[in-house]
Structure 1
Amino acid sequence: MPERRAEIHTKFASRSLQQLCKHWSHRFVVDFTPSHGEIALPLGRCVLDAEDERLVVVVSSIDPASLPRLQDVVEEHLKRFAFREALTFHWSDRRNSA
């Protein structure tokens, strides 16, 4: 399953994770805590991990052609929810070890 990973430096990592998970919990299967979230989206899966000043986002999709769109959707939403911060995403390929 192809994956893309981004590390975002933000003072509001946990808040961003929770806000995105709550936003999508009305439409999709979502499981989250203040430090970890998993979202099952139609295009694939999004996993978020919040640390002190860093949010790690991993998106994966069975269909490689859907991965760029999934990446864009997650990035757009996180940027929209950012509180007076300009979030920067540096996506990289990641192989699934499973």
Structure 2
Amino acid sequence: MFKLTGTFATQNGPKYLQQLCKHFAHKIDVTHSDTEGTCSFPMGQAVLKADDAGLTIRFELKDQDAVDPARNVIDSHLERFAFRENFKHMTWSA
């Protein structure tokens, strides 16, 4: 397992969590509440947590080759959802 964590400081964390989970639920297994979610991507599982200070996403990936696809799937969707905040990418750490 390879672990990857992304953070995005925003007052709209719960809003973006809901948008991501509802969007991904059309293609993968997703469970979510207002402040927590789990997304089962082919490259691994993501656990999302949000509050008024931000959004955190923790991936448990199958291997290191899944790091870039994991980052890209989140960053590309948040770039569309959080465009008013000039979002470009989360702060990622392994």
Q: Same fold (TM over 0.5)?
A: yes
Distance 1:7 1:73 in 2: 14
Letter matched to residue 36 of structure 1: E
Determine if the alignment matches structure 1 residue 33 to structure 2 residue 33: yes
Any stretches of 5+ residues in structure 1 without a counterpart? Answer: 94-98
* Counterpart secondary structure, 1:91: strand
Determine if the alignment matches structure 1 residue 77 to structure 2 residue 83: no
Is the 2:48–2:58 contact (alpha carbons within 8 Å) kept by the matching residues of 1? Answer: yes
Percent of paired sites with the same residue:
33
TM-score, length of structure 2 as denominator length: 0.89
Any stretches of 5+ residues in structure 2 without a counterpart? Answer: none
Q: Between 15-24 and 56-65, report the one with greater CA deviation.
A: 56-65
TM-score, length of structure 1 as denominator length: 0.86
Q: For each residue in 1:53-98, what CA deviation from the matched residue of structure 2 results, as whole angstroms up to 9, or x when unmatched? A: 21111122112211221111111111211151123521111xxxxx
Q: Relative to total residues, which structure has the larger helix share, 1 or 2?
A: 2
Q: Relative to total residues, which structure has the larger strand share, 1 or 2?
A: 2
Is the 2:11–2:51 contact (alpha carbons within 8 Å) kept by the matching residues of 1? Answer: no
Counterparts in 2 of 1:1-98, with a 5 A limit?
Answer: 1-82=1-82, 84-87=84-87, 88-93=89-94
Runs of 4+ with >6 A deviation: none
